[in-house]
Structure 1
């Protein structure tokens, strides 16, 4: 019995290392090719397909876990963004940092959209959304962001513009170096109170 108890923690540690290797490989592979197969991901992780399926019963579960890993890592990175001071300047900084993350994972998101329902994708992005909502609310309180549209709508617009930029890059109609500037210009105008917009 003692020998069995001693092996259990080691087995759990091995399993956890295996899961981490699989998720790292899944994020890498799907970020390069949204159609990457379980076999490709297993090979990149240095394990067999049986091992992958032992932890993730199907490809959708694996894609879900990979997107969750990418979002959590991105969420942690956004914690370092300075959101103090002028809400407009803070929003511009957040847009640049958020876009870098969206750009890095845009192909992974395509993989997720193919196998996961929209509600699940929104659920996985809940943490980053809360950060944006707090900033928008502060900007509304300070009179620099519009109050005639709901915060949830403005946050949705931000996500739509970013993902739209990713689609434009994938289609070859927008270059990576111009995307952040286009996104910032579009969103800062969209968030501005109507009275602050240039008159025609």
Structure 2
């Protein structure tokens, strides 16, 4: 693992108390006894959503509520978090016993990083961080990205199929950070399941998983 001062350079922020950064980079697999970044993930998720919501509210004055919601969903998604994590080489700094740092681990670490800056420097520092790290993603979205569930519904209609249905299978994890497992049913296809930090997030993930399976089979 590289020195955390290198990560500070990557994110253009110097911590007053580096304990927040160290905790943000500590995955739950590193030790069962020591603290990990799960609580920071929870906080970072909310800070990111608030800051991005305000940024797109100011940037896209002609967007209605639905357009803004689609932009927000895209910009705070695991895919966007993962792309930011790779941009700053976050995989070089995460403390983990996992053999491979997958998308979920790096996306969660990115949320924890945002929370660590918020706790260390306040909302203005975390807003500056998000502006800096999300600048390419914000510039790259000229039109509101279409919600993955909407795209799937349009695909089903084009293929004369019933509207896809979603079902909550189970809920796991601690009360402060539950994980929801949802299945999707599309006529003529096997059921697929996926997880998320909310039911809405899980439905989006399972819809994406289904669409990805279509692309792989084409």
TM over 0.5, shorter chain: no
Which has the larger Rg? 1
Point out the structure with the larger helix share.
1
TM-score (ref. length: structure 2): 0.28
TM-score (ref. length: structure 1): 0.30
Point out the structure with the larger strand share.
2
